[in-house]
Structure 1
Amino acid sequence: MITRFAPSPTGPLHLGHAFSALTGFDRARAAGGTFLLRMEDIDRARSKPDWERLIVEDLHWLGLDWPTPVRRQSDHLDDFEAALARLADAGLVYPCSCTRGDIRAALSAPQEGAPMVGPDGILYPGTCRGRPMASRREGDALRLDMARAVEALPAGGLSFFESGPEQCGSHRVTAESLVEGTGDIVLERRQTGEVAYHLAVVVDDALQGVTEVVRGVDLFAATPVQVLLGTLLGHNIPQYHHHRLIRDERGRRLAKRDDARSLRTYRAEGLTPSDIRAKVGL
């Protein structure tokens, strides 16, 4: 078993991060496997070396260890571009110049009805679908043509196995759910040219040989499109383990801005790693 914890170095770790990292580490250790740390620092405007150093410090304080060097997304942009090129060569990608305002305007027409919402928010209405890659202009995004992508799937469709307690079992992914429930997702962002999360995480997990993706249940809905991308790229599909979220007293999921529950704050207050395990129910 190979698991991984893949934080973005854009702020301090909180209790939710600790729970996810500890869960992945414990599952790998119990199976005699390997736990990896990866830095998802592709958001170059917000990612900071100081946050990365604090993340490493906090995880070591919790008692976690991992092979080095740590994979940083910013060091492997060529891997993502190669994956994009493969999808484009297969005719599955098109350029898109639409802004968020354009999308909202297109969906606000009375005949459109209520907009559909998928794992990335409001589903794209397909305004630029059909544009050839040769028409791409500077600043355009790249989107996956979902209808064409599902046509390229094996006859038996897609499935993945979930070992998490809430959704445990085999899950089938249908073409209909991808086209109507996910839509033409962004693979590379407008203006910045940064590869989107769905593609980056699929490429990273495949290149690192991850066999079980451990993460919060809030990302369960993103799993089908990631299984699709992995299949289109010829990757082995990992098993998934989506765990519960750690929430505050009001039932809200924790965020990096909630410094009162950051690990550095608890460390300064004199708590121990065992105290943190107890706080998250481990």
Structure 2
Amino acid sequence: MSKTLIEDALAILRDKYMFPDKAEAAAAVIEADLAAGEYDGLSEEELGERVTARLFEVCADRHLRFRVRAVDLQEAGETEEDAEAAWNERQRLTNYGIQRTERLAGNVGYVKLTGVTSPGNGGRAIAAAMELVANTDALIFDLTANRGGDPDGVQMWNSYLFADSETHLNSIYDAATKHTRDFWTLAYLPGQRYVDKPVYVLTSGSTFSAGEEFAYNLKALRRATLIGETTRGGAHPTDQFPVSKTMEITVPVARSINPVTGTNWEGVGVVPDIALAADEAFGHAYTLALRHVVETATSQLVLEEARSALEK
């Protein structure tokens, strides 16, 4: 059973991975392991872990994984349509990755994102979250538990922080089509934009993929102050390919190219402007935001609220 699973996974790897030479080198290593009986008697979870470790040894790509499929995907089926339907339902049930949106004391906005939804699924939720914080004087995005998502979703979130459609956020090169797509700030957004006010982004060693792009774009454009830990380091957009009902291989099929830096965060992560332990990042960001409010507030109500929050 494991032999068939591995052979099918390696066929997908050779066909889809954006670095063909690395795909061939990794496949050769794993085939040698298979011939030597290295994967005999392993459970599917153990098999996934062992093969993924070997893939990383050769390719050093954190998006390249062989693993047990999520239960909802197993129940949905093996076709692309089945997987997409299950993903859409997961997005709905997790509120499109928007875990918290609130106005903190001192008129500071706070949005905690555990994922980045596609605008087609969660665009209305993104707009609603931004509307709730639109009238705050500073904004904190908490990405410390963000595991990634959709580049189009990053584009929409980031677009709220710029005045118009004239800002180039990111580019993605697709290996199959050899086409580079440029992501610019959107010309139209539902609701108000959040401009000319400070933005803070909290990161951790677990922040990954599209969560990292969210932070990297804003850092490169100097639109936000990043506070926390260096992120995990996965910059290659990825597709998931079922190998069986219970196993899948995730394969990077493209790569990000930032227009400011000319590179991306693959393997190195996004380095924060202010390095702190992840559990200390919020307190520091909130303090900076409150100090800004105290210095700039024109409302006595907000000023008193910010001063009181700072004292606490």
Q: What is the TM-score normalised by the length of structure 1?
A: 0.27
Which protein is bigger by CA-based radius of gyration?
2
Q: What is the TM-score normalised by the length of structure 2?
A: 0.25
